[in-house]
Amino acid sequence: MGLTSFTFLVFVLVTLVGYFIVPKKIKWLVLLVSSLYFLFYDNLTFDIVGYVLIILLVAYIFALLIDKYKNETKKAKILVVLSVLIILGVLIFLKYTNFIGITIKHIGNIFGFSYKFQKVYRNVPIGISYFSLIMISYVVDVYRGLCKPQKNILKCALFMSYFPILTSGPFIRYKDMNELYEPHKFDYDRMCRGLIRIAWGVFKILVISERLAIFVNFVYANYLTYNGFYIALAAIFFLLQLYTNFSGSIDIIMGISKIIGIDLPENFNGPFFSRSVTELWRRWHITLGAWLKDYVFYPLQKSGFIQEIGRFTKKIFGKKISKKIMLYLAMLIMWILIGAWHNGAYTFIIGSGILQFIYIFLEDMLTPIAKKINSKLGIDSETFGYKLYQRIRTFLLFALAMIFFSAPSVGKALDIIRNMFVWNPWILFDNKSLYLCGLDLYDFRVLGLAIIVLFVVDYYKYIGKDVTSWLFKQNIVFRWIIIYSLLFAIIIFGCYGVGYNPANFIYRQF
Amino acid sequence: MKKLIKSGLFLAIFCFLWSIVFNVLGLAKTPIGQFYKEKKDTVDVMYIGSSNVYTQFISPLAYDKYGYTTYMLTSASQPFPAIEYLLKESRKYQTPKLYVIDIAKVCDKGELFNEGDIRNTIDQMKFSQNRTEALNKILDFTNILEREPEYDENGDITEEAPNKDYYTYLFNYSLYHNSWKNLTDFNFKGDIRYYKGFRFNSTSIKHEEHVYNQWFDERSELDPENKEALMSLLNYGKTNNLQLLFVIPKRVFTDDRIKRLNEAYDIIKENGYDIINFNLVDDFDINFKTDLYNSNHLNVYGAIKYTLMFSKFLNDNYELPDHRGDKNYQSWAEEYERLKLSFSDLTNKSFDSQLDIYSNYSDIDLKKVLLEN
Amino acid sequence: MKKEEIYERLNNVFRDVFDDDSITVNENTTSNDIEDWDSLEHINLVVAVEQEFGMKFNMGEVTTMKNVGEMVDIIMERKNN
């Protein structure tokens, strides 16, 4: 169900009412039933149920076993590795078969083998890319002694399928989700905060993301004609579209979960105010980064493989450089995995993987040089102007990488980038060229205003202030004016209804 | 308790703001939407039907001549089953002495109507149980939620698939909200091309070979859903003791439609109601060079002829009051003046002069036609 | 092993890993207090501590330790058992 659809609204209302009226002891059961309904909505087939059950049962049973054998480290290790491999296996089978097949075909072609590969279309459970990794983190955390396994399989199932997570995450950790099973009473204040968050998310999606999509889709479908600055603008718009879509979805589900009484970890923290791509990834899809750090990056860095390379290179290059080599090797592997997680296609592995690694690597290499230049030239790197330059640079670099993210193939992405180098800046100023792409003057005005509001709110998030709390401190009249403005902005300026496609969740296919 | 009051107040203000926004930005109101603005119990005749109604009968003219008010509850391409619900809707606000019902669409099957046709009627109605029932009936009749897009030989789409989400029909607030980009008189005053439901075109087409079918006497079965709707309408009229008059407009119909219309004609007569088939009125002479806006509709000149003829018939044969001079009915007089002004602006002729030219149409004896058939 | 001894050897490890002779850690020191101690350097530090004290942290401890005090507690536990 689309998060901005009427069906979803009814679903949430029923769930909330059900949750708050049933007796305390079975409140969590209401969440379980709703979550399973959402999980299997429009997708109730034997194979789907099968895959879900495999992951659930493997995680549940192995967690209990690992805990039982926690003093026999060898047995425990075998169990955890086995469970991780099985769950990963299901994920790879469901989502990466085509990628693996095509890669083998390409490799085969290089060596002269002609290998036919027929693409398969598989029906996947919604949220598989999230809950499979979440269950892996569950088993591993039990192995690491960070939490006790859940003895009740139904409660375990609730953790795995908690419906707010299924659309776009965030990645939750079992040890932080005790609240899932605690009964929560209805709280008026929580409801108000949750509703505002939901409205903010809907605003981002319907007013900004869907509107930008019109322009982006048009230019990318006609990029040979609409080249140069059109493409540059489309790339910038696409990044904003992606951000508002993704973070808007997160806002909606966070708001819903807040009303229930369960707080989920944040995924975004004013990313576009980052002064470097390195910093950006601490503010963008935060829980993904955290998951990878704890379950891939650290284990990788500490692993024998990397440590051996470290010892080897230390002899040749010295300690400092060998540390860097260890770091960047582990990081490269991690980024390739991040790219692959987004989708089994080279565009994603490059766009949200390798390119990001290159950016971060170059930033690390060039920062000391930049510091030297700045000090020699007397440039103060803490001025507003300098920070602005850094932020714009970060944004543009990220937007460039996202061209790969949105293109259907690497070749297409490169072609689009090639066509970007056409000198036609007048299209931005001649008062008509921009309106040929599906948006008119009014749309641009709405976008301009909405994006300014977005950045203002995000700036406060960046510096650590909570806009919702600020809003609640205001007097009721001012507060209600703001809320009504938000609601009616969605109603009047939102892109929905006849003529618009229902919100396309770019992160939903995960 | 305080929180409950706060929430209630918040919602109340929200609904209030919502209604303002949608009155301004919602769909421009056409006759059905504008109907709700009429003062309660001021309409003497409800004239219900499809495009042949609003192009033919000049209600402000009837008011000026005889003093009774006729409101036309019409929309383009109105599916026949909608009529009963429109009739019910009108009874919530008005107590007309007579209902005139144009049955031209009774011969058209559900699949001939598209999403726009449904919305022309349904979107204009106020949200109510009656509207919901009308919507469900029409969706069922047209089977629109199951429709696929239509393609031509090249594989290009000729007709888009309609909206499949039931809720966008039930709650039409989501649509047309784009009108914030171009606020015009249509948003504030409603579609000003309508005068108490009448809308005119002053242009005429030149049809050299245009000929009305020779009406003939065969019958064939109505489409079952239309037949059911007709029976339901007739029964509703009987149960509620309503005075109904049915009309078949003068129009080009295909042969198989003529057969179905004849069947409907018989059914109506069998149930004790009057019906006039204007295709059988010899003196109702339509000059296909000057009186037609397109092959299916009269233009304003044709409408003058029709109105002079039909309004007199209504006045002579039904007990209708004369409200001329009554301040309560001022809007009817005002609309007539506005109409005349609009007419002379468009055609450079005076409306009164046209009435003189066609004055003989008042002399056509429709009662004779009624009794003969 | 005594706590003072651990802290003395730990200081050396920190100074070595972060190339800063002025670093002195106490039980409340966290990654916020040392400029280069971020998630990228964390493992290097952990491995260096492991090598210095001849023990191993498990991954659970690596990902959840909040300050130097916790680190020291774990070292004590390992060395004194």
pLDDT in tens, A328-381: 888 999 999 999 999 888 899 999 999 999 999 999 999 989 989 988 888 888
What's the half-sphere exposure (Cβ side, CA atoms, 13 Å) at B294?
4
Helix (H), strand (E) at residue B99: strand B98-102
Range of the domain at B315: 43-110+193-372
What distance in Å separates the CA atoms of residue A335 and residue A341, rounded to the nearest whole number?
Answer: 10
How many domains does one find in chain B? Answer: 1
3-state secondary structure A72-87: CHHHHHHHHHHHHHHH
Q: What is the pLDDT of residue B188?
A: 66
Whether residue B209 is predicted with pLDDT greater than 60 in this model: the reply is no
Which residues in chain A touch residue C46, judged by CB atoms under 8 angstroms apart?
A: 302
Residues A98, A183 contacting (CB under 8 angstroms): no
Which of A493, A494, A498 has the CB atom closest to B163's CB atom? A498
How do the domains of chain A map onto residue ranges?
Answer: 6-184, 187-264+407-510, 274-406
pLDDT exceeds 60 at position A15: yes
**Residue B62: which of B244, B309, B340, B349 has the closest Cα?**
B309
Interval C45-79: pLDDT, tens: 998 899 888 888 888 888 888 889 899 988 888 88
Can you give the pLDDT at residue B370?
78
Does residue B275 sit within a domain?
A: yes
How many Å lie between the alpha carbon of A83 and the closest alpha carbon of chain B? 43
Q: Which residues of A touch C43 (CB under 8 A)?
A: 298, 301-302
Neighbouring C-alpha atoms within 13 Å toward the C-beta of A307: 14
- In chain A, residues with a C-beta closer than 8 Å to the C-beta of B181 are 440, 442
CA A27 from chain centre, in angstroms, equals 29
Return the CATH number at B53. 3.40.50.1110
Residue B368: inside a domain, yes or no?
yes
Of residues B175 and B133, the one with the higher pLDDT is B133
Say which residues have a Cβ less than 8 Å from residue B36's Cβ, sequence separation at least 6: B93, B126
User: Which residue from B25, B165, B181 is facing A442, i.e. has the nearest CB?
Assistant: B181
Place B157 in a pLDDT band, splitting at 50, 70 and 90. low
Give per-residue pLDDT as tens, B255-272: 899 999 999 999 999 999
DSSP letters, B289-318, are: TTSEEETTEE-HHHHHHHHHHHHHHHHHHS
How confident is the model at residue B182, as a pLDDT? 63
Q: Give mean pLDDT, residues A238-258.
A: 96
* Confidence at residue A503, expressed as pLDDT on a 0 to 100 scale: 26
Lowest mean pLDDT of A118-127, A336-345, B196-205, B348-357, name the range: B196-205
Query: Has residue B75 been placed in a domain?
Result: yes
The answer to whether the CB of B328 falls within 8 A of the CB of B39 is: yes
Q: Which of A57, A291, A35 is nearest to A167 (CA)?
A: A35
Contact of B189 with B28, CB cutoff 8 Å: no
Could you tell me which CATH number the domain at C3-79 has?
1.10.1200.10
Q: DSSP characters for B14-75?
A: HHHHHHHHHHHHSPPP-HHHHHTTSPTT--SEEEEESHHHHTT--HHHHHHHH---EEEEE-
* A308: three-class secondary structure by DSSP: helix
Residue of C nearest to A175 (CA): C64
Q: What percent of chain A stands above pLDDT 70?
A: 97
**B285-339 tens-digit pLDDT:** 888 778 887 778 888 888 999 999 999 999 999 999 999 989 999 999 999 999 9
Q: Is C10 on the interface with A (CB under 8 A)?
A: no
Report yes or no: A171 and A137 within 8 Å, Cβ to Cβ: yes
Cβ pair A426, A307 in contact under 8 A? no
**Whether B82 contacts B354, CB under 8 Å:** no
Mutation site, A186, A442, A446, A492, interface B, largest B CB count within 10 A: A492
Cα–Cα distance for residue pair B81/B121, rounded to 1 Å: 11
What's the rounded mean pLDDT across residues A470-488?
92
pLDDT, one tens digit per residue, over B52-61 is: 898 899 999 9
**B364 inside domain:** yes
Average pLDDT over residues A38-57: 92
- Residue B354 placed within a domain: yes
Look over chain A and give the mean of its residue pLDDT values, rounded to a whole number.
Answer: 89
pLDDT of A501: 31
List chain C domain ranges: 3-79
DSSP SS3 for B247: strand
Residue B247, pLDDT score: 94
**Among candidates B30, B239, B223, B273, which has minimal Cα distance to B111?**
B223
Q: How far apart are the C-alpha atoms of B15 and B311, rounded to whole Å?
A: 43
- A492 band by pLDDT with thresholds 50, 70 and 90: confident
Pairwise pLDDT comparison (A107 vs A251), residue with the higher score: A251
Average pLDDT of the segment spanning C18-35: 86
Taking CA atoms, what residue in B is nearest to A442? B181
The answer to whether residue B2 sits within a structural domain is no
| Minimal-distance CA residue of chain C relative to A322 | C44
Could you give the 3-state DSSP secondary structure of residue A284? strand
